[in-house]
Structure 1
Amino acid sequence: MQRSIVRLAIGAAVFTLFALHSAGQLRWRLLDRIETFTYDARMRLPAQAQSQAPIVIVDLDEKSLAAEGQWPWPRDLLADLVDRLFDDYNIRVLGLDMTFPEPDGQSPSRLLSRLSDSAVGRLPGFAAASAAVSAQIDHDRRFAEALSDRAVVMGFVFKQSVKSDEAPEQGVLGPPLFAVEDAVDYVAPHGFTGNLQGLQAPSGLGGFFENPLVDDDGVYRRVPLVQAYQGRVYPSLALSVTRAALGGAPVSLLFDPPAKRRSLNLEAVELGPLEIPVDEQVAAWVPYRGGYRSFPYVSATDVLRRSVEPGVLRDAIVLLGTTAPGLLDLRVTPVARAFPGVEIHANLIAGMLEGQIRKKPSYYLGLEVVELALIALLIGLLFPRLSPLAGAGLAAGVALAVVGGALLAWQLGAILPMGVPVVFTLFLFLAQQLFGYFVESRGKREISRLFGQYVPPQLVEEMAARPQVVSMEGDIRDMTVLFSDVRDFTSISERLDARSLSDMMNQFLTPQTRCIQQYRGTIDKYMGDAIMAFWGAPLPDESHALNAVRAALDMVAAVQALNPQFEARGWPAIRIGIGIGSGDMRVGNMGSEFRVAYTVMGDPVNLASRLEGLTKVYGVPIIISEITREALPSDWAMRELDCVRVKGKERPVTIFEPLGPKEELSSSVRESLARHRGALQAYRGARWNQAEAAWLELARREPERRLYGLYLDRVRQLRVTPPPVDWDGVFVFKTK
């Protein structure tokens, strides 16, 4: 529980930092860059559909400049271009991605005007002749006539700042959409550069083509559809062209709920039947369809020379712009580092007509904070329960879920957070890993230092996962203790030199230790040829008695498997005796100020040590106490050996030899156990003849089993020296 709380606290700390960023209180430029990077990556996905809107770009390219002359062109040439587009190619709308704030400097009418002010102008008849031809040679008038009564959208530029030495206004603006009557956070410029009154008035349509909302990295991702200037709202070039293509459809703002006309509730711009999603600044995210030339391009000179296939331009929405490098109309976009500005308008127009403008919901930041909170909670709760590799898989899965959800929303037309939640997940994973390494790993290393030589590795892992249950302080627990000893070790050691004896013991103790640790046992100490181990500490073990008995059986089997190898090396075969006791005992660090050991003490410990010694008396490899027997499953078979009173104890103890699950016993063993039980009952009832007959039959069948001979000797002695009348059948040992 404590580890989970600490993990959740780490998640809460990291969450707070990221939530402050999302709320705008502590902006991290790196996170902004990562989020825009993921947005740009989504924009570059190959699934963008080709536009079906009839949009064509008439390009003032290098070919046109080479054929018709450098820019700016004479306006009579532009008038010819407009005439060709409407009269010869029958286009629907023309949008001019340029502005005309000053008179045409190349118009002959200007030369005629200058001559009128000179000596030439005072010549007889000059004034009359000048008046007669001025209208025919005025390029601006010619251009205005070409614009008149045609769906031509004139471009203009708003100024976001005005220098002290320049006029805030130049030329005139196109007509506004409506007056400012709401609390929307419009982009509010301080001036403009418009068109000549004589050029703007014939058209009657206009739109700004600059973008004051370019991101900090210079990338064109969103464009305002309107700006507010001196209490009136004006459309962008793209919005005005789209409106003209729809026959002059009305424009209004859509709020939810309608009564709350403020940026927080702004949902879309309504353009006739279209609803165009916008943000709080009435800006739309440009739906780029691909890289450069995602729309058809035709050269302006080819239009002038009528060399364009008529079907390319018929009923098309045409934008007049430039890609010529010398005119520098190139922008940085998510899909290309050098992208023609006129094609940005084309993408926006196509997105509006086809309903492909994506929506960044008003609850975007709230959703981001909720995502972060859920991720922090999920990782904080699950991480303590997982291995480092599984924890990495969890973090990767969360990150993939965030990415998958954002991509699915993208396909459905919504822009959801991706970069910040993914970075948060990775950052939180790193913080959790570092905590685990520097804090929890230190605890694991300490536990390993204390218990690693005695406790099986899986227990060390469990203790590290639950350090609160591990204590070195003294504690009384229900446990099981095991003592093991090699029979006749003194004679064995006399037959071997020191080096061989050491090698032999190492090969003996290794599999013995493995058997103990396999069943979650803790090695208390090695005492030469003897082993002391216990179950139930440092971690509790509800099956401590069963695990100890299983380990003991495996230890006996391991010795039997070793003996052929020992004999092959000229070493003597060995046998072991094991005593097991269960009950309440004290466990913890015990010793003196000079040396402390983690060990167990108590009456069951002393009894187990005595039982190990009794294995030699009864000729069996394992003896367990009656308390251990009661803790074993009922389906385990036991051979009751005796009821004894060992030295130092007043209360008699019934002792048993464990044989394993009953279902694994052969029929002959089952029969022997039944005969032995009957013999014990007769023995304790002083029916010597019956007991002797049963054990004689058992001894005939199993002459190697010392137990039967032991009882036959007792029966003979008790016939000679009968026990007292109140005899309880208990055998008293006078020595250890």
Structure 2
Amino acid sequence: MKRASVYRVFLLALVGFALSYSLPRTPLGLELDQLTYDSFVRLRESHQQSPKVDSRLIIVEIDEKTHKAYPQAMALWMPLYGKVFESLFQSGAAVIGFDIIPMNTPMEEVAPFLETFLNNRGKLVFVAFYDSDTEELIVPKDNIMALVGAENLGLSNLQKDSGGLHRRQPLSNWQIESTGQSHPFFASLLYEKLTGKTELPRENVLINFVGPPGTIPRVSFRDVLAMADQGESEKLKQLFEGKLVLIGGTAKADQDFVDTPFPSEKPMPGIELHANILNTLLTEQWLDPLKAWALLAIVLIPLAWLSLEKKLVVSTTSTAALCLCWFGGSYMAFLNGQVVEPIPSALVGFGTTYFLGYLYRFNTVEKEQRRIRSIFGRYVSPDVMEAMLEFPEDHKPEEAKSQRVTVMFSDINDFSTACEQLEPEEVTRRLNAYFGEMTNIIYAHQGTIIRFIGDEFMILFGAPKANDKSEEQAVLTAVKMVDRLKQLKAKDSKGTEGFYEVKIGIHVGDMILTSIGNELRSDYNCIGDSTNMAARVLSLTKPLGATVLISEEVKIKVESHPELEFKDLGVHPVKGRRGEIRVFEAFLKPGSKA
């Protein structure tokens, strides 16, 4: 690769990387990251690959059935709450988290459960809520506060991302200016109560959702009361012994719902979001960032090279495959608890690198290829053209260059006589058939047809694409042309279908290759004495009675070829120049494949 090309590759990769690096720091990039996380959460759930639920977690839900059974206002439910607390602790519940703030509760309603409150102080956690609009901390009434204890209050405030969804949650205590105090969050305090650990493993957590709403086990508040009333202590014990029990509303009337990565038509109850936070803490199934910036930088370099150097189909396929691999690899990492950084911005970087690379290629390389194709397309075979287009900078037609080339001239015997005897349409038909057959053989041996003049061919071997076996290709082309004409003649007993007798002359030497003309019309051509010498060799065929005549310079290069044999026809003067030339007639060996 040339130095300029290397610079372009690294510059393009740098542009793609810069965009990928800066995008996550914009609102759009942040939203794309969040949407990717959401899609992974949902995709994981559909593949049944979600994290496991900690067996200690259970929700007692105040659902529609509970509201139907107890239609009175919830402000009057304190006796029901007290009875449930009592039943749960008697059943061996380890910790209870109560996601309701009791207000206006008369002491006489609390009195029957004083023993339960006092005996389980520290195992019963109530919620408080900080209203940032009013800068007020909302807590239970004084009589409940006295029983529960301020140290057993946890903030139920949940963090929303910019899109209004809940994906993260702070865990460290929140220093509230209006109170001048530091307050723990509900889930954090419950974690400390259950585990006995005073230090949290994380300051904040990316919530590792276990599934859509309803995934974490639930028991109806109404059913707990019914089992307690019926004395089903064993059943209650099986359900709640050693458990962290979360009590909260799931009924539509409670309006305690939050938006999560799962479909919005089925929002998650707030109590279940707390349960998901707790599950992430208790199981330590973290979603940790996996920074892949270095890998991204490395991957962008070959992508930039493909975009600049390869055809559209190759660069497009490679870019699509790379995007799929990056997304798929990121998803597999997510299943193993790692959130790759970046994901969407990396895909944007890939797309940008691909697009800018192709844009540059279209306006430079492919533009040059189109120009080369327009000039050389009528001279060379499709496979030679494709090889030339791989490196268009090496085949700029306006740049003259000297190159060793083998030249072949061929014409039809007695063509002028045939033209006098045949109708023009018949001459044209036979010529087209002849040229069609011969062109196939010429192209098969990488020949470049410079011109047709009447019945005459001028063909180059080793130009415009250099070929160190140009002499061999030229001679093989000549003898196989003759052999093919013999085959066609054998099928045409009357000799009325084509031209079958030809003369061919071949010489090799250094020539100047260039495009001659102007913007309106230009032709690829060769300039040099070797062209004239090849024409002189052709002119010797008739007096010597030969069909394929080659110069000694050509013969030296091909004399050991197993398909060829030669006859020395001696030294002859060259018309129009000093000196003599030794020529040889070339034949295809009997039994050789044409």
TM-score range, shorter chain: 0.7 to 0.9
Deviation at residue 434 of structure 1 after TM alignment: 4.0
Checking the alignment, whether the CA contact within 8 Å between 1:144 and 1:198 is kept in structure 2 is no
* Residues 577-634 of structure 1 deviation map (CA, whole Å, 9 limit, x = unaligned): 1111111112213369996432112111111111112222333321111222233374
Using a 3 Å threshold, how does the CA distance of structure 1 residues 346 and 389 change in structure 2: closer, same or farther? same
* Pairing 1:206–2:153 present: yes
**Equivalenced residues, count:** 570
Name the counterpart of 1:158.
130
Contact 1:226 1:233 in 2 (8 A): no
Per the TM alignment, residue 438 of structure 1 is displaced from its structure 2 partner at its CA by 4.8
DSSP 3-state at the match of 2:74: coil
Q: Does the alignment pair 1:234 with 2:186?
A: no
Q: Deviations over 1:264-291 (max 9, x none)?
A: xxxxx43xxxxxxx4xxx2212121112
Change in Cα spacing, 1:376 to 1:209, as seen in structure 2 (3 Å) is same
Name the residue aligned to 2:395: 470
d(CA) in 2 for partners of 1:606, 1:551? 20
| Alpha carbons of structure 1 residues 227 and 521: separation in structure 2 relative to 1, 3 Å | farther
Q: Pick closer, same or farther for the CA change 1:26–1:78 going to 2, 3 Å.
A: closer
Q: 2:50 aligns with which of 43, 48, 51?
A: 48
Which stretches in structure 1 are left out of the alignment for 5+ residues? 108-134, 170-191, 252-268, 271-277, 666-736
Q: Is the 8 A contact 1:523 1:533 kept in 2?
A: yes
Q: 2:574 is matched with which residue: 635, 639, 646?
A: 646
Please provide the CA RMSD for this pair. Answer: 2.9
Q: Which residue of 1 aligns with 2:323?
A: 399
Q: 1:421 aligns with which of 339, 346, 355?
A: 346
TM-score (norm 2): 0.88
The alpha-carbon distance between structure 1 residues 75 and 661, as it changes in their structure 2 partners (threshold 3 A), is farther
SS at match of 1:305: helix
Report the alpha carbon displacement of residue 5 of structure 1 after superposing the two structures with TM.
4.5
Contact 2:431 2:498 (C-alpha < 8 Å) held by counterparts: no
Distance in 2, Cα, partners of 1:416 & 1:157: 34
Structure 1's 440 and 33: CA in aligned 2 closer, same or farther, altered over 3 A?
A: farther
1:329 is matched with which residue? 256
- Output the CA distance in 2 between the equivalents of 1:625 and 1:211: 93
The answer to whether the Cα contact below 8 Å between 2:569 and 2:585 also exists between their aligned partners in 1 is yes
Partner of 1:611: 537
Partner in structure 2 of residue 459 of structure 1: 384
Q: Is the 8 A contact 1:56 1:317 kept in 2?
A: yes
Contact 2:39–2:261 under 8 Å retained in 1 = no
Amino acid at match of 1:496: L
What is residue 457 of structure 2 aligned with on the other side? Answer: 531
Displacement, 1:339?
1.2
1:223 pairs with 2:182: no
Judge conservation of contact 1:635–1:661 (CA < 8 Å) in 2.
no
Inter-CA distance 475–566: structure 2 relative to 1 (3 Å threshold): farther
Aligned residue in 1 for 2:440: 514
- What residue in structure 1 maps to residue 374 of structure 2? 449
- Encode CA deviations 1:189-232: one digit per residue, 9 max, x unaligned: xxx323334323433423222212x1222221111112331576
d(CA) in 1 for partners of 2:367, 2:424? 40
1:375 matched to 2:376? The reply is no
What's the counterpart of residue 18 of structure 1? 20
What residue number does 1:487 align with?
413
Structure-2 separation of matches of 1:145 and 1:624: 119
SS across alignment from 1:226:
coil
Shift of 1:569: 7.8
For residues 561 and 431 of structure 1, do their structure 2 counterparts lie closer, same or farther at Cα, with a shift above 3 Å needed? farther
Instruction: Give 1:238-387 correspondences, 5 Å limit.
Output: 238-246=187-195, 248-251=196-199, 269-270=200-201, 278=202, 282-306=203-227, 309-310=235-236, 311-337=238-264, 338-361=267-290, 364=291, 367=292, 369-387=293-311
Higher relative contact order (CA 8 A, sep 6+): 2
Task: Select between 490-499 and 3-12 the one with higher mean Cα deviation.
Answer: 3-12
**TM-score with structure 1 length normalisation?**
0.72
Structure 1 counterpart SS, 2:66: helix
Partner SS state of residue 259, structure 2: strand
One-letter amino acid of the structure 2 residue matched with residue 587 of structure 1: L
> Quick check: 1:94–1:320 contact (8 Å CA) kept in 2?
yes
Would the alpha carbon gap of residues 573 and 71 (structure 1) be closer, same or farther in structure 2, given more than 3 Å must change? same
Question: Given the superposition, is the C-alpha separation of residues 573 and 587 from structure 1 closer, same or farther in structure 2, using an over 3 Å criterion?
Answer: closer
CA distance in 2, matches of 1:592, 1:416: 57
Task: Find the residue that maps to 1:394 and give its secondary structure.
Answer: helix
Deviation of the 1:80 alpha carbon: 1.7
| 1:702 alignment partner in structure 2 | none
**Contact (CA 8 Å) 1:156, 1:193: kept in 2 or not?**
yes
The structure whose Rg is larger is 1
Query: Which runs of no fewer than 5 residues in structure 2 stay unpaired?
Result: none
- Are the aligned partners of 1:292 and 1:336 in contact in 2 as well (CA < 8 Å)? no
> How big is the shift at 1:563?
2.7
Shift of 1:486: 0.5
Contact between 1:93 and 1:245, CA under 8 Å: does it hold in 2? Answer: yes
- Report the Cα distance in structure 2 between the residues aligned to 1:52 and 1:475, rounded to whole angstroms: 78
